Chains A and B, each alone.
Chain A
Amino acid sequence: MENFIAQLISGLANGSVYALIVVGMTLLFLARGVVHFGFAYIVVTTAYLGWVVLKVTHNNLLISIPAFIIIGIILTLVTEPLFRPLAQKRAFLETLALGQGIAIILTDVCSQFINFGQNVAFPAELTAGGARLSFGIIYFTLADVYVFIGSVVVVLILLYFMYRRKQGKAIRAMAQDLDIARSLGIPFNKTGIIGFTIAGILAGVSAILIAMTLEVASPSLGNSFATKALVLMLFAGMGNLTGVMVCALGIGVVEALTQSFLPGRWNDAIIFGTVMIVILLRPNGVFGTKS
């Protein structure tokens, strides 16, 4: 039983990491109707560049943490104009290919120019939250708690923004019907830029939290996150913030449990098997497509 709880907790922590990324992608989907496959890679590259900043400033957190966020915003905003022509044409599938192009570039930026593609380890100042809570074999670090709480808070803030604030409602309106929204005077460019900026802040925050929990980043991290994120988005219901969050946590837990009770080689088959069965039973995604 203790073992089960320990697995559950570690699964939730991992799931929170997935959740952060998928929530960012969902936001971009709502803001621009694009599936930003490169978002996971933006997060990983932000983490890498943040590591460089940490090294250069000798682990000065006061400078580095804002640097993470600024880098996240810059990287995401740079990709915004690239998606405009496709968003105009509502070419939802081409955005996958565009995202893949961005993904390839970012992976190579990390693996060629930063630390020679070796894994980067984040310094103790960032990761040692200090207190570890352990009950026997169950334990979690402060970082795990931050990540979990962080992802929940992020989703709540986003929900508030999307449903209560004018800009958020504008974004949802554009997602629902582009032409009507435009004819109502909602600015196409500005809304997209706002959406991407928020996603950029999210990328920076995700990068910090990932650095805290994983303590290590590698160039191939982008690949594993992006694939899972894409499947999660499709499976949980496109554009559904809460749905995507819950599914991400769920996948984290399923992964942890599969690993402990079954030979590790079956991990992929079980996860994607679950995905396939669920999507066939609930065609609108687990929680339904929402705008």
Chain B
Amino acid sequence: MNKESNNSKIKLNIFYFIVFTVFIIILQGILYNKTIKMNSLNKELYLVKENSNKLFQKMEVEGYKKASLEFKKYHFEDVFYFKEAQDKRYQFIYNRDLVKSLTQKKLKESSLLDKSIYDSCDNKNKLSEFNGKYILSYINKGKCYSFLTVKISNTLNSGLGAIWYLLIGVILIMLVSFIFIPKNNKNRVIVSTIILLYNIFFFVYSLIILGNAQNKNIEGIINITKSNLIQIFIIIIISTLLFIGFYISKFNTKLTNTLIKYKTPYLYILPGGLGIALLSFSPLFSGIILSFFRVKYGEYNFIWFGNYYDILIGGFKNIANPEGFYYTFFITVIWTLINIFFHLAIGMSIALVLNKKRLKFKKIYSIIFIIPWAIPNYITALIWKSMFHKQFGSINNLLVFLGFERISWFTNTTTAFLANLFTNIWLGFPFMMVMTLGALQSIPAHLYDAAVMDGATKWQQFKYITLPMLKPALLPSIILGIIWTFNMFNVIYLVSGGEPNGSTDILITEAYRWAFERNGRYGYSAAYATIIFIVLYLYNYTTNKISNRGEANE
């Protein structure tokens, strides 16, 4: 009976596979067609660009009407001819038929065409875009000649097509292996490996095409915009997820079986998981992919691990450089550890005190202590900064009152770090306090009663009841507290601002500077962010391992 149901499931799966594959193949065909067209057009435009001087000279000699025939071979619609007047203004003399057809078709366009051609003449030997068409202009002896291509908008980039090959390839091979390799055959492993290699190969191949498209083609033709990139990212994500899904399931019904077996928990998780997958994971993936690109002025160049090389290996050359990766990383770790310690120590002790039954005014106290969390930290961080001022800050005034000397807080790494630290402790302890207050409610009162009966001291109660009982409920807050402090941007940016000489910057402020203060170098910034991500992931992984081992020992 089991076998029968399994067989029917397999049949069902085959059906879905075929439908899905046909759909993908059709989609792929359309895209492939467009990609090929786009590619050939690119080549020809490239030729025109290369031979433009000759062609232009030909036009000078033979007149533009004859020459225009030659241009038509290369998908150019027509030739325009301009005479440069004084003061760099151009007089427009162009093919009247074309202009007429344009004015009849699209009145709005015609006035803009003037402008585009004007700009194109300004550009000199560069392509400019007009309404999905491209204009190539050439200036010779004060005259400007312009050519308009056929409409080539809405076609997809070759790189995008390459990624579709990847998807189709994966699915085809999966299909083949699914049909031909029997269940429980060792060959499955081999096939899976082949698919993996295939996937990697096409991933790399498509990225190379993307890189080439940027480097070799005429400016303006392949314009990989951000939206295109993100399309690519989404496709890669889909294909990778598909791949992972089928790789894990090894093309048998294991996946379906697991789904059925654990239906209830999966259903409980589904809504939240879907939201997270859509809105948290896709930005994350796009960020990781972005980190392989050099982004400059909105242009994207695939540079393999260039950014990582620069950050990790380049930073290695000068390890003590306060703006290098390793120093910043060191500061970030210390920053996180000290902060978490104080957040926990202060937050927890206040919570324990406030949790006392007989304490009066505890509601008032707890509201007072929540305030640093409630007020937007943009303003309070800056208030702390002004409190650290050398001549007029209240902290130095207090130091003078106590008989110390004034400190110039932000000219020394240690003191600047301390200033950041004080501010963040002030900002962060309320969170831990609230979390502890919540966690304390999970401790059953009868445990304490029993302890008192046994004659346990307060300290023993804390050590043997409160702490161990707090741990499971508080652990998530601590882990996340570490992650957030690791990425605490506002305090560093607003209080010390990385002073002196960038020595108090942490990784996240450095990533921010690359993205928003150094000409939108998103690729470099994304590489930083990815490194942060990997570091935190490793941290989480090792702590998991350690805690698992601890549990096993217990």
A and B co-occur in one complex: no
